[in-house]
Amino acid sequence: MNCKTALTIVSMFVLSYTHAQETNSPKFGKGLFNLTGKDSTWSMNMSARMQFLATAEWDSNKDGLYNLSSSMLVRRARLKFKGFAFSPKLKYKLEIGMSNRDISGASEHTGNAPRYILDAVLKWNFHQNFELWFGQTKLPGNRERVISSADMQLVDRSLLNKRFNIDRDMGMQLRHHFNLSDKFVVREALAFSQGEGRNVTVGNLGGHQYTAHLEFLPFGLFEGNGDYKGGDLKREKTPKLAIGMSYDFNNNAVKTRSNQGQYMVNDAGYYETNISTFFVDAMFKYKGFSFMGEYASRDAEDPFAKNSDGTPVLDSKGKQVVVEVGNALNLQTGYLFDKNWEISARYTNIALDKNITGKDIENQYTLGLSKYIVGHKLKVQTDVSYLDIPTATNQLMYRLQVDIHF
């Protein structure tokens, strides 16, 4: 069944129920419609969103800019379904990507099929503040990755996220939260996953992946879950702070970035090594001011991919395939002015281990401007970034993006 057929069936299913069930049309940004069964044993909210992106890039040296390249594309186009089944304690989420960027990455590991499914997960609140998740969804890794691409402060996520995030995977998660005081909230999460990334159909190739997350909110909850949204659109009346830590261990990983990156294919199948990733992050908001900081570090038991006889595994360019070990720092801040204009800035440092990866330090500086017309649901964002690499060609990038979320 191809994507067009699947989406047609879903659309016909939904439309067939709009007359037979209790139907409510939400306001803009809250979904296309709500459905509730007459016996109140299920519900569904369907929403859609699109991002349109234009990019211009130049190489840079002391003489100026050259080698202009540009592109315009539908960066993201997605449908999302959420609600409960049988009981409000059993929730679900299904998110489908339809743009070329959303579905890219097809290979023999995904059944040579486009990767349409982003999230497909059940969430069972089985006891008090405990929830058990089962399915494919984001792992409890770095904050920037967990923040939805619909709610970003700048046009896209940072280079730290690009190089170090652990993204989505198939498995189980146990989540819990409790209060140390009237305001002080603590959140915990444990995840057990396949360790291969999303939409993989070949099963587990190495070992499994284990993730632990701990988070502290000493001044209470953010308005509107603002600890996982870019910018202080709620203009917090009192200071709010969230501090998070995550540790991820991928046993016998077969990819160069834990469950991301390229497969380390050798003469016996796949090279396997244990990969550990550590994150620490913080989010602070107060009266329109926001700050987010993240640090990431990755290590591997033996980062050099080898064949069964000990010879190095080489890529198509004749270079040895290695795990991308090293660390990164991302600092991001912004201020929301009257009429919902926001100026933001970001500094990102990528420091992969040069002795292993052969890659030099990267520093990227970004300045952004956003106009929130209806919060994150309808906005125009633009930013300019300068990438400084001491031993390579520097780059200047300009981006303009429009988001609309129904």
**Full-prediction pTM beyond 0.85?**
yes
Residue the block writes with tokens 């917090």: 236
- For residue 146, the model assigns a pLDDT of 98
Mean pLDDT of 203-225: 96
Query: What's the rounded Cα separation, in Å, for the pair 263 and 325?
Result: 15
- At 275, the amino acid letter reads I
- For residue 23, the model assigns a pLDDT of 54
Question: Among residues of the chain, what percentage have pLDDT more than 90?
Answer: 88
Mean pLDDT of 86-115: 94
33-36 and 64-85 strand pairing: unpaired
- For residue 25, the model assigns a pLDDT of 77
Mean pLDDT of 3-12: 52
Checking if the pLDDT of 1 tops 60, the result is no
Checking if the pLDDT of 181 tops 80, the result is yes
All structural domains of the chain with their residue ranges: 3-405
Mean pLDDT of 275-297: 98
* 3 state SS of 157: coil
Rounded to whole angstroms, the maximal C-alpha distance in the chain is 71
- Do 333 and 358 touch, CB atoms closer than 8 A? no
**Tens digit of pLDDT for each residue in 294-310?**
999 999 999 999 999 99
**Tens digit of pLDDT for each residue in 28-84?**
989 898 999 989 999 999 999 999 999 999 999 888 999 999 999 999 999 999 999
Q: Tell me how many helices (H) and strands (E) the chain has.
A: 5, 22
Confidence of residue 20 (pLDDT cuts 50, 70, 90): very low
Checking if the pLDDT of 8 tops 60, the result is no
> Alpha carbon 163 to chain centroid distance?
12
Checking if the pLDDT of 22 tops 60, the result is no
Question: Among residues of the chain, what percentage have pLDDT more than 70?
Answer: 94
Distances (CA, A) of 111 to 101, 106, 108: 18, 8, 5
Phi, psi of 157 (to 5 degrees): -70, 170
**Tens digit of pLDDT for each residue in 311-351?**
999 998 899 999 999 999 999 999 999 999 999 999 999 99
Domain 3-405 class in CATH: mainly beta
- For residue 355, the model assigns a pLDDT of 96
- For residue 70, the model assigns a pLDDT of 97
Query: What's the rounded Cα separation, in Å, for the pair 372 and 254?
Result: 42
Checking if the pLDDT of 236 tops 60, the result is yes
> From the CB of residue 297, how many other CB atoms can be counted at a distance below 10 Å?
16
Average pLDDT, the chain: 94
Query: Exposed/middle/buried for 364, CB within 10 Å: 0-12, 13-18, 19+?
Result: buried
- For residue 368, the model assigns a pLDDT of 98
